[in-house]
Amino acid sequence: MAAETENLRVILAKLGLDGHDRGLKVVARILRDAGMEVIYLGLRQTTDSIVAAAEQEDADAIGLSMHNAGHMTLAPNMVKALKAAELDIPVIVGGIVPDDDVARLHEAGVAAVLGPGASAEEVARVVRDAVQANRAGAQA
């Protein structure tokens, strides 16, 4: 089914110790209003708990919110944990990520990075595109 019309299932979580969840709650609402099903895990998640949720929920994408400058460690760890569990699910990072780190996150396997200025349309489009690209890659 095309990613535009189906109910995409997106997991949203804060990975590690980071209590700033206002942004993630806004993103949850944006994705809901874009017609997606948001599985909201909230604060203090681990790579293991996110992998377990992704398996059980058959998630199409995983959104991680990072405001603690831990993204260069935590986001690649998430990508690795998914790979280890043989889950082919795109990881999208949102939050405060310096420009210099964006390319490095892409290299580490992160599908997309969303910064503070992203519009609602952009957030929804980036998630849809990431799912679409991932499926195209899986079929190739």
Partner 1 sequence: MAPPPNSPLHLVELYDAARGGHRRSLGRLLTLVERGGAEAERISELAHPDSGRAHIIGITGAPGAGKSTLTGQLVAKLIEAGKRPAILAVDPSSPLTGGAILGDRIRMDDVVGVVATDAAAAAAGDGPDRTSAFIRSMATRGHSGGLALAVPLAVRLFDAVGYDPVIIETVGVGQVEVDVVGAADTAIVVVTPGMGDAVQANKAGLLEVADVFVVNKADRPGANDVRRDLDLMLDLSHLTGQESADGYRPPILMTSALTGVGAPEVLAAAAAHLDHLDASGQRTSRRRARIRSEIQARMEQKLAALTEQMLASTEGAELLSKAEAGAIPPTDASAALLQRLLAGPA
Q: Which residues bind partner 1 (CB under 8 A)?
A: 1, 7, 9, 28-29, 31-42, 46, 48-49, 51-53, 55-58, 84-87
C-alpha span between 54 and 89 (Å, rounded)? 8
Identify which of residues 46 and 68 has a Cβ nearer to partner 1 in the complex: 46
Identify which of residues 39 and 64 has a Cβ nearer to partner 1 in the complex: 39
Identify which of residues 22 and 29 has a Cβ nearer to partner 1 in the complex: 29
Residue 58 Cβ vs partner 1, minimum distance, rounded to whole Å: 4
Pairing mode of beta strands 9-15, 61-66: parallel
Identify which of residues 89 and 113 has a Cβ nearer to partner 1 in the complex: 89
Q: How far is CA 83 from CA 51, 53, 57, in A?
A: 10, 15, 17
C-alpha span between 135 and 23 (Å, rounded)? 27
Task: Specify the DSSP class assigned to residue 1.
Answer: -
User: Do 14 and 65 form a contact (C-beta atoms < 8 A)?
Assistant: yes
Residue 40 Cβ vs partner 1, minimum distance, rounded to whole Å: 5
Residue 52 Cβ vs partner 1, minimum distance, rounded to whole Å: 5
Residue 5 Cβ vs partner 1, minimum distance, rounded to whole Å: 10
